[in-house]
């Protein structure tokens, strides 16, 4: 049976620019099942990063219902809600940003180990994940001693090593040259298919979006 990883219904989000409210997400609904991928596209400023942040609890919607990995969130704020989100992010949701979010004082291998430890997973396979991503020989290097593409591979190693149920990737190759971006994206899709986790990928690359099972264009949402 396919399990529902995520379901969002009627999400709304406004920010304020001066005194003026600016609607960023309006009556937005989406769903994702186990092993599926969903591309979020839309011009810069269309709300991709805001939606990714809402889907992992870093930002709260103004209204709407959200169920992520069996946990229901319906706009209730407070410490308990924050703790539930923090636990999901630590253990089950891998987030990848445009710039790899590595601890500068730790080697690539220790970055992977730290992430895995936080997720409560076994550290034994960490080096294998760097090998799988083609950066095994760089395990002892620090983030500022490797290239942007290698850092982003390390970020992917961190995320897959924690065995997430869901990966949220916000323009993960946006800072890389085209060739490196294609390599890193290929690895992301291969590993996602092999390990069967869900993937939500924000991108402005339409070609990339066609490689996902589903596609949601935030530039063309129906009016609320």
Ligand X SMILES: Nc1ncnc2c1ncn2[C@@H]1O[C@H](COP(=O)(O)OP(=O)(O)O)[C@@H](O)[C@H]1O
Are the C-beta atoms of residues 23 and 34 closer than 8 Å to each other? Answer: no
Residue 124: what are its φ and ψ, rounded to 5°? -55, -40
15 binds ligand X (CB under 6 A): yes
Other beta carbons within 10 Å of 128: 13
41 binds Mg ion (CB under 5 A): no
Other beta carbons within 10 Å of 60: 18
Residue 19 or 44 with smaller CB distance to ligand X: 44
57 binds ligand X (CB under 6 A): no
- Tell me the closest approach of the beta carbon of residue 202 to ligand X, in angstroms: 6
Tell me which residues in 27-56 interact with ligand X (CB under 6 A): 42, 44-50
Helical (H) or strand (E) element with 137:
none
Residue 119 or 170 with smaller CB distance to Mg ion: 170
- Tell me the closest approach of the beta carbon of residue 214 to Mg ion, in angstroms: 19
* Nearest Cα residue to 171 out of 54, 59, 43, 55: 43
Are the C-beta atoms of residues 156 and 199 closer than 8 Å to each other? Answer: no
- Tell me the closest approach of the beta carbon of residue 85 to ligand X, in angstroms: 17
Q: How far apart are CA 49 and CA 59, in angstroms?
A: 10
Question: CB under 5 to 8 A by kind: which of Mg ion, ligand X, none does 13 bind?
Answer: none
- Tell me the closest approach of the beta carbon of residue 51 to ligand X, in angstroms: 7
60 binds ligand X (CB under 6 A): no
Which residues, in sequence order, are CB contacts of 183 under 8 Å at separation 6+?
Answer: 149
Interface residue list for Mg ion (CB under 5 A): 48-49
Interface residue list for ligand X (CB under 6 A): 15, 24, 42, 44-50
């Amino acid at each position: 049976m396919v399990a529902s990883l995520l379901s969002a219904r009627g999400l709304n989000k406004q920010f304020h620019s001066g005194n003026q409210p600016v609607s960023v997400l309006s009556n937005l609904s989406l769903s994702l099942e186990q092993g599926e991928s969903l591309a979020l596209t839309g011009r810069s400023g269309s709300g991709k990063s805001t939606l990714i942040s809402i889907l992992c609890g870093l930002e709260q919607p103004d209204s709407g219902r959200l169920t992520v990995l069996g946990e229901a969130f319906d706009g209730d704020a407070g410490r308990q809600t924050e703790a539930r989100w923090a636990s999901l992010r630590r253990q089950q949701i891998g987030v990848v940003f445009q710039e790899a979010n590595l601890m500068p004082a730790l080697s690539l291998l220790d970055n992977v180990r730290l992430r895995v430890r936080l997720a409560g997973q076994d550290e034994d396979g960490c080096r294998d994940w760097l090998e799988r991503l083609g950066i095994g020989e760089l395990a002892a290097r620090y983030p500022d001693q490797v290239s942007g593409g290698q850092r982003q591979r390390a970020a992917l190693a961190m995320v897959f090593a924690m065995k997430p149920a869901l990966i949220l990737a916000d323009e993960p190759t946006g800072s890389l040259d085209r060739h490196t971006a294609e390599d890193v994206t290929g690895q992301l899709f291969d590993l996602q298919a092999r390990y069967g986790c869900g993937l939500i990928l924000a991108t402005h690359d339409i070609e990339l979006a066609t490689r996902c099972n589903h596609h949601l264009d935030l530039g063309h949402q129906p009016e609320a």
